[in-house]
Structure 1
Amino acid sequence: MKKLVLTGAAGRLSSYLREPLTQLCDALVSTDIVDDIGTLYEGETYIKGDLANMDDMMRVLEGADMVVHMGAYADEGPFEKLLGPNFIGAYNIWEAAHRHGLKRVVYASSIHAVGMHAKTDFIDTNVPHRPDTFYGLAKCFAEDLGSLYWDKHGLESVHMRILSCAQVNNPRALGSWLSYDDLIQLVTRCIDAPTTGFSVVYGVSNNDRAPVDNSQASFLGYRPKDNAEQFAAEVLAKADPADPQDVGDVCHGGPFASVALGNSGVASMNIVDDAKKT
């Protein structure tokens, strides 16, 4: 394609996507609210922009074929803090994409859109929304927005419900891990699939303990290769026993399921910042 846009380009996950995405298009436009994102790859340009500002998003998406929308406030917080980047920002992306005639939005949704479902339920992509936080509620909003814009405007979208894309250092991650290589494959398949309509796919690697069913999204061609079981012995040896009375242990949303609304879910997750450096 000629032009691809990546939002949230300063984020940890996007740091692994930027270089591969330059191989899929003539021009990659990366955008975020920071002043710069370091050294740019060949074919990549950077435009500073605020998701909550429609004029910014209209400027960034002009002439694009598709947008990979990774940008958001990436944690639970007060509703007012998420309103701009996560709710209004999603609307601005879809509306700007529609006005500019883009083919597809590839969206970083989250397991937190369905995080209050029990882990013992092997949920598929058709399971009803059951958000665990305001953050998860924003993901539900964007998924419904994608469905609406497909039905009303014919704007395709794929919603990647990412489980946990970070180093495996806790028992939950043995099922929820999405490796960076599998993330790259997932985004690539969401881009190069001939047609998608409105679709949902779980962002998870080929883990023995994966708690979700991706069979409904098989048509995308996403076939993850990595498996978190390689970390199981070390992780389980260091972990405390699971508490069957703790919703954080028994629900898909993990710590997000157990925190009070508006409180950080990331704070207790010990996420290692291993962003790729340019």
Structure 2
Amino acid sequence: MLKKLVLTGAAGRLGSRLRAPLSALCETLVSTDIVESIEGLASNETYVAADLADLAAMTQLLKDADMVVHFGAIGDEAPWEQIHSANIMGAYNVWEAAYQNGVRRVVYASSIHAVGMHPKSECIGTDAPHRPDTFYGLAKCFAEDLGSLYWDKRGIEAVCMRIYSCAEVANPRAVGSWLSYDDLIQLVTRAIDTPVTGFAVVYGISDNDRAPVDNSKAQFLGYRPKDNAEQFAEKIFAEHPPLDPQNPADMCHGGPFATVELGNSGVARLGLKD
């Protein structure tokens, strides 16, 4: 069991689902976000309000930590200045604070949007070249490369999880790209308890029959997803018009993020249900 685990983005949609399972993996869980407080703290959990853009705050937060699970960021496309502060400088500050404190591993919530402009007709692997679809995706590319650099030069392990569609299956894209909440928890747990990871990239996706990515090179993590979105396929396809092979929003891994103007929300076009 880890002595101290830090979770950033603890008040977010996905981070909030990780708090309880992560508290079971460590003696002390320190959850952090920019909100003033959060409710329902576990008996071994404390909350610290802190800004990712503040290196000193991150350095203090990660003191004596074994690992950090970094889910804090703007979770959507946004103007460059906002992405640069929270997602790019925030990532640098987390890795630098990890280095300053001798933290062993960063478990990072990357995104499919780091490779979002690849067509889904190409079943891409974890070694696919970066091809971001937005400033948001570009920031994920930066953080992945940052993790690689800090592993090569400073020996900090990193598991970068390219999360796909972690929400209720509500559109045809999600029939292939779904990541269930249970599989998310399993993936993060494996990223923490695998003895040796070095620098690794893994897709955050469930065991979908129509999955458009190849996760085989990440099997050493022991991640074996249990859920399959095929159970929703018939209903979802009947409720939505056919996809357009000439529309990048239908044909690219990034979905609507592939067509939004830079700086404009992509999440708003996903029709997420939670």
TM-score scaled by length of structure 2 = 0.99
| Structure 2 unmatched ranges of 5 or more | none
Q: Which residue of 2 aligns with 1:58?
A: 59
Q: CA deviation at 1:46?
A: 0.2
Q: Distance in 1 between matches of 2:29 and 2:212?
A: 34
Q: Distance in 1 between matches of 2:185 and 2:98?
A: 22
Q: Distance in 2 between matches of 1:129 and 1:33?
A: 29
Describe the SS at the equivalent of 1:172: helix
Q: Distance in 2 between matches of 1:61 and 1:85?
A: 17
- Per-residue CA distance 1:5-51 (angstroms, 9 max, x = gap): 00000011112110000110000000000011112012110000000
Q: What are the equivalent positions in structure 2 for 1:111-126 lying under 5 Å apart?
A: 111-126=112-127
- Per-residue CA distance 1:234-274 (angstroms, 9 max, x = gap): 111110111111101000000101111111101111112x4
Q: CA deviation at 1:117?
A: 0.3
Q: Distance in 2 between matches of 1:37 and 1:170?
A: 31
Q: CA deviation at 1:226?
A: 0.3
Verify: 1:242 aligned to 2:243, yes or no.
yes
- Per-residue CA distance 1:114-173 (angstroms, 9 max, x = gap): 000000001000010000000000000000000000000000000000011000010000
| Identical amino acids, percent of aligned pairs | 68
Runs of 4+ in 1 over 3 A off after TM superposition: none
Q: Which residue of 1 aligns with 2:192?
A: 191
Q: Distance in 1 between matches of 2:43 and 2:256?
A: 39
Q: Which residue of 2 aligns with 1:178?
A: 179
Q: Distance in 1 between matches of 2:48 and 2:78?
A: 27
Count matched residues.
Answer: 273
Q: Distance in 2 between matches of 1:233 and 1:141?
A: 38
Q: Which residue of 1 aligns with 2:265?
A: 264
Describe the SS at the equivalent of 1:9: coil
Q: CA RMSD in A?
A: 0.6
Amino acid at match of 1:260: E
Q: Which residue of 2 aligns with 1:82?
A: 83
Amino acid at match of 1:2: K
- Per-residue CA distance 1:58-88 (angstroms, 9 max, x = gap): 1111110000000000110111111111000
Q: Which residue of 2 aligns with 1:215?
A: 216
Q: Distance in 1 between matches of 2:224 and 2:177?
A: 15
Q: Which residue of 2 aligns with 1:6?
A: 7
Q: Which residue of 2 aligns with 1:154?
A: 155
Q: Distance in 2 between matches of 1:42 and 1:160?
A: 28
